[in-house]
Amino acid sequence: MPTPFQLDILTPEHSFFSGKAEGVVVITPDGEIGVQAHHAPLVTPVEIGTIRLLVDGQWKEAFISEGFMEVQHDRTVIFTQACEWPENIDVLRAEATMQRSQEQLRQQLSIREHKTSQIALARAMARLRVTREQNLHLK
Amino acid sequence: MPKANEIKHRIGAVEETRKITNAMQLVATARAKKVIPKMEYNRNFMTQVQSVMKDLLLSPHLADHPYLTWKSHQRRTYIVISADKGMAGSYNSAVLNFAWREISAKVHCREDMHLISVGVMGDSFFRARGIVPDHSFGGATQDPSLYNARQLALEIMEYYDHKETDQVFIIFTPYQNGAAGKPTIHRLLPIRISDFTDIEAADTPHEIMYHPAEKWVFNLLVPQFVVGYIFGAMMHSYASEHTARMTAMQSATRNADEMLERLHLDYNLARQAAVTQEIAEISSALFV
């Protein structure tokens, strides 16, 4: 079993995870990065998508919004705008957001509105993906 | 001496008002309590973000980054957080007058300034003084959510990125020791390393790898920092507003209680006087 290390996942609203983990996999602009204990110090952006944590030998998945990962010698901190376990995701809301932002993207909007809709769409899709994967595991 | 039923009418009115102030006090207490635990998480988040930022600022590759450079031309953007309604003691007037003093001291030309008002009170305050806010977020103070903070952050990052402004300040009321503190001003952009003197950096900043590159990381970190700071300021203001309202309503309720006591006394006196007068009239009529 891999050595556990201190992992903290923080959002401006709450502390999503704080404790020992054996591994964590996030999506960065260059693809997925996995971190285990004694990883070299690293700072990298985290993209909207799924985060996987290995806690007590069990892989867990959660939704993560855009943010950062800071790997230090003895601990790893991930800051993000939002992070949710699949069971806490409001599927109906995510679906509604997805449809609304797709609709907005079809219209001719200002660059800023376009960007906002794009991010909203990516978040909604990532949320839905996490819940769908969770349902597959249960079946 | 007013008539007894006039006083009775007045007692009824004061009792109604007292009910309202009492209810407002309870609502304000509940709201303040809801947001205060969240502030701790935000503080934690901000300390961590600032520590990553400090590590980054120590690296030499960022020296001329637009988020760090100080320009000679100083067009300022002010974000002023006030409340959507009054009845909160001196909360609104304190923060708005502070903002007004700051703005009139530093800004000489309206074109050089962007003003973003969060809260309806701020909006009407500046309009009454002939400054129409460039952007007004009414209703955002009722709900200090990340979504609102993000909208506001997008707005100012866009001003800054398009070089429409050189400095961004936020004016809000911090929540200190269980009460609304003194209004403060904080510079959001550009960022200076001196802002982080009390933040601990990593032991070995030169060992940290930045992936894909320092600049990339920094470009993404700054918006996170700005959103986090605005969100924190909104929560502080929200907690301050509701504590201020709580105290104001508490004293209003107490005043109403005192007033009722006095009115009840007056009422009894007036009633007694009327009865005495009636007896006097009847008994004097007997001897005629």
* A124 and A80 share one domain: no
> Residue B142 is part of which domain span?
26-246
How many whole angstroms separate alpha carbon A95 and alpha carbon B208? 40
Structural domains counted in chain A: 2
**Nearest residue of A to residue B204, measured between CA atoms:** A41
**CATH for B194:** 3.40.1380.10
A54-85 pLDDT, tens digit each: 888 888 888 998 888 888 888 888 988 888 88
* A79 and A120 share one domain: no
> Residue A104 is part of which domain span?
90-138
Instruction: State whether A42 and B211 contact (CB < 8 Å).
Output: yes
Question: For A10, which of B48, B202, B208 is closest by C-beta distance?
Answer: B48
Going from the C-alpha of A8 to that of each of A53, A60, A72, B125, B240, the distances in angstroms are: 11, 15, 12, 43, 29
* A55 and A111 share one domain: no
In a domain, B276, yes or no: no
Distance from CA of B89 to the nearest CA of A (A): 28
Q: Does the structure's ipTM exceed the value 0.85?
A: no
B142 membership: H or E segment, kind and range: none
**CATH for A19:** 2.60.15.10
Question: For B217, which of A40, A45, A66 is closest by C-beta distance?
Answer: A45
Which of the residues in chain B have pLDDT under 70? Answer: 1, 63, 200-206, 287-288
Distance from CA of B48 to the nearest CA of A (A): 8
The C-alpha angle with vertex A51 and arms to A44 and A135, in degrees rounded to 5, equals 165
Whether residue A102 lies within 8 A of chain B, CB to CB, comes out as no
A29-45 pLDDT, tens digit each: 888 889 888 888 888 88
Q: Where are the alpha helices (DSSP H) in chain B?
A: 4-57, 91-106, 120-128, 146-161, 214-286
**Nearest residue of A to residue B205, measured between CA atoms:** A41
Instruction: State whether A82 and B202 contact (CB < 8 Å).
Output: no
In a domain, B277, yes or no: no
Half-sphere exposure of residue B261: CA atoms within 13 angstroms, side-chain side: 6
Choosing from A39, A66, A84, the residue where a domain stops is A84
* A18 and A52 share one domain: yes
**Nearest residue of B to residue A70, measured between CA atoms:** B52
Structure confidence at residue A134 as a pLDDT band (50, 70, 90) = low
For the beta sheet containing B113-118, the strands, ordered from the edge strand earlier in sequence to the opposite edge, are B135-137, B113-118, B76-81, B167-172, B184-189
How many whole angstroms separate alpha carbon B105 and alpha carbon B284? 76
CB–CB of A97/A120 below 8 Å? Answer: yes
Using an 8 Å CB-CB cutoff, list chain B residues near A31: none
Average pLDDT for chain A: 85
Structure confidence at residue A137 as a pLDDT band (50, 70, 90) = low
pLDDT at B12: 94
Q: What's the predicted TM-score (pTM) here?
A: 0.84
Distance from CA of A101 to the nearest CA of B (A): 15
pLDDT at B205: 61
* A133 and A103 share one domain: yes
Beta bridge partners of A77: A8, A70
**CATH for A128:** 1.20.5.440
A88-99 pLDDT, tens digit each: 888 888 888 888
Whether residue A79 lies within 8 A of chain B, CB to CB, comes out as yes
Phi and psi angles of residue B245, each rounded to the nearest 5 degrees, phi first: -65, -40
pLDDT at B201: 65
Using an 8 Å CB-CB cutoff, list chain B residues near A41: 202, 204, 207-209
Q: Is the pLDDT of residue A138 over 80?
A: no
In a domain, B6, yes or no: no
Output the six-digit token pair for A102. 């797709």
DSSP string, B120-133: HHHHHHHHHTT---
pLDDT at B42: 85
